[in-house]
Amino acid sequence: MKTCKASPLENGTGCVVRSSSERMESRAGCVLKGSSERMENAAKRRLAANARERRRMQGLNTAFDRLRKVVPQWGQDKKLSKYETLQMALSYIMALTRILAEAERFSSEREWLSLHCEHFHGDSYHHYPAQKPAADSDPYAHRVFGYHPEHFQIAN
DNA sequence: TAGGCCATCTGGTCCT
DNA sequence: AGGACCAGATGGCCTA
């Protein structure tokens, strides 16, 4: 469809598109015969639309870059693809949600314990597994987060 | 060299 | 009418 050669429509990046211009020419032949001004206007509008689309996609890519920065990327020297970034963000959000829920549950349990049991086991709650800090952040994060690239296929 | 990823162009559709 | 959004097509680049 796109042949990148021999077209009146330059895209600004050196690549030119053939099929659309052929369509435009045929349209010009039957509807806009002799109206080179209208053809020019159509071409201008097409170029403007291309530029808008380029800007839109650049904005989208900027958003992907920002997302990559806040999403974990353990030991990946290569940047995540767009699809991987979305899957990672999904897993990350779900893991954080789970952590939050566990923290809330833990704090309410601790209140209950301190209310009823503090005279018997004053500091027993210090041994709650959920409170245990991660000495080694990566293995802990891996355990909590549980991200594996192969999960992408499952999620799909 | 095949396959994955990406950028770009393009026409269609929806919205303002 | 014009802009935003979307999906399909295509070619370029990179890597195994």
Which pLDDT belongs to residue A120? 44
> CB of residue A153 closer than 7 A to nucleic acid strand B?
no
pLDDT in tens, chain A (156 residues): 333 322 334 444 333 333 333 333 333 333 334 567 777 888 888 888 888 898 889 889 889 989 998 998 866 678 898 999 998 999 999 999 999 999 998 888 777 677 666 544 433 333 322 222 222 333 334 444 544 544 443 333
Q: Which nucleotides of C are covered by protein (CB under 7 A)?
A: 2-7, 9-12
Which pLDDT belongs to residue A73? 80
What nucleotide is nearest A82 when CA is compared to C1'?
A: B5
Which pLDDT belongs to residue A93? 95
Tokens of A7: 């077209």
Q: At what angle do helices A36-70 and A19-30 cross, to 10 degrees?
A: 150
Which pLDDT belongs to residue A126? 32
- Listed residue (A59, A77, A79) closest to A69, CA to CA: A79
Rounded distance, CA A10 to CA A97, Å? 49
* Half-sphere CA count of A51, side-chain side, radius 13 A: 9
